[in-house]
Amino acid sequence: MSGGTLSSDFEMLKAHLLDILRAHEGMRVFSPREDGSTQEMVLLPRAALKVLDAAEEYRMKGPSHFSKVVDLVEKMDNYEMMVTGRVLQEILVQAGLAEAHHRLRAFNKSVSQEKQEIRNVEDSSIVSFKGTFEKMLQTGKTPQQIREAMINQKIELVLTAHPTEAQRRSALKKHEEMLQQMKVHDGKDQLTPGQLQELNEKIRAIQWSCWRTNTVRRTRPTPEGEARNGMLVIEDTVWKAVPEHYRRLDRCLKRIGAEGLPQECSILKMSSWMGGDRDGNPNVTWKVTEQVVTLLRWRIVELYYREVDELLYELSMTGEVSQEMKDEVERVSSMWAISVSGQKVCRPDARSGVHWNFHTGVAADEPYRRLLMAIRRRCYRTKASMEAKYLGMPIDEDFEQEVLTSSEELTRPLEIMYRSLIENGDEIVANGRLLDLIRRVRTFGISMACLDVRQESDRHAEVLDTLTEFLGLGKFTTWRKRRRSASGWWRRSTTLWRRSSRGPTRPSPSCQRRPWVPT
């Protein structure tokens, strides 16, 4: 690996960017006006390139050449100044990408060291599990104490949407692709000349695509749009990082003589305000929250479906399984039509959707695949039901019976398979993709993120007043503090259904409807 440095990465990216910009000097495009008409414009004026050349001369030769930059800028018209600013902005973006890549490279190099030297146990710059555990051992902690501390640790990552966030998902996706290409560039010494040329062309293509894209969001995103942006972050980053995080913990715990984390351990939890933050935002209604929850459930079950599809290839084992595995396979066998002896089982019927893999069923002597087929079917039917609900269409009654309503409905069969594999000597398989999926389900649940519904205090008071008056308990806002905090009055809310037809008052329409947020 050639590694590379921050400065060399930045110079490489800047050189590629300026090369493609100079290659398109004077190119004319048609730009839309606000009134709907179009105007012909020069994509990159010559004046912008002159300023860049003068700036490079100033950087190389010193302050005495800065006056040339000033003279060129003073002669520019508004459009030329705008384009020049855009070029400088893109150069800064390239610098940011180079720095982000270099930070990751430096971190990986630090972690890859066989033993990290701990000179000061109070050093707060130690950021790896390896270094942190070594530091804890030096302070007198035992490996078992460290493991217990990790098991008991709870981290909730909360995604919020900031109103000043102006970057579009299109730009963020391109930047992520650029970082992936830079990882490949680190190993350029191992590439053939043709592969290196292809890599450079990919980098320039991404840069040109960024240049030709309006990178600033011109309209304020809707609450659902904010939630979609959050899903992009989860899918592109957190989804991959969660199993890696747990695997690193397992390796470092075993390195100090402790066991890895148990499969039921759940350290991380994803939460989100997007689609549920109503505090001062009248656009986030109960219907918007319901739509966002439905969308999140639709998307996460699609990700689970893909993982289960991959597991169908991996867990092809036959032979002995645990008793609870046998019982579970027998329990789900009623989901499928009875097969003739010698034929495949778990054959998807006409209402099971179109599946690319194992569309004709699996062999009867493959118990793990039989259970995975049942999980895949529930994932498919959950996705179809959420799609219908999002579109305002009726949900199929047969499908609704198999909709996943809690994360335990997924983790239970997955953990049964995990324990069966461990019991029968297949630990190396159990601790692979299957364990990754179990940990993902425990992190993301069946709604990708736990939606935090935030509401201003006046609205809370209105709802509670309506509820307590409906129960004949008076106004909640007039109660003393001790009575408000008591739990006895809340238990009386179970009478709401029985009294709903004869109560003295009914909840106001604005306080009636609220979406159900699954766990």
CA distance 299 to 384: 11
CA distance 229 to 221: 9
102 labelled catalytic: no
Q: Smallest Cα–Cα separation from 236: which of 165, 175, 307, 297?
A: 175
DSSP string, 430-484: IIIIIHHHHHHHHHHTTTSSEE--B--HHHHHHHHHHHHHHTTS--GGGS-HHHH
446 φ, ψ to 5°? -110, 15
How crowded is the C-beta side of 495, counted as CA atoms within 13 Å?
A: 15
Strand 28-32 versus strand 268-272 pairing type: unpaired
Kind and range of the H or E run holding 342: none
345 φ, ψ to 5°? -110, 175
CA distance 292 to 448: 11
Catalytic residue (one of 16, 24, 162, 185) = 162
Strand 268-272 versus strand 38-42 pairing type: unpaired
Kind and range of the H or E run holding 214: none
Is 288 in contact with 278 (CB distance < 8 Å)?
Answer: no
120 secondary structure, DSSP code: -
375 φ, ψ to 5°? -65, -45
DSSP string, 29-84: EEEE-TTS-EEEEESS-HHHHHHHHHHHHHHHH-GGGHHHHHHHHHT--HHHHHHH
Which amino acid, 284?
V
| Helix, strand and coil percent figures for the chain, each rounded to 5 | 60, 5, 35
Is 300 in contact with 255 (CB distance < 8 Å)?
Answer: no
Name 517's Cβ contacts closer than 8 Å, sequence gap at least 6.
276, 289, 293, 447, 450, 451, 453
Is 293 in contact with 517 (CB distance < 8 Å)?
Answer: yes
Is 158 in contact with 80 (CB distance < 8 Å)?
Answer: no
Residue the block writes with tokens 């040329």: 197
Active-site residue set: 162
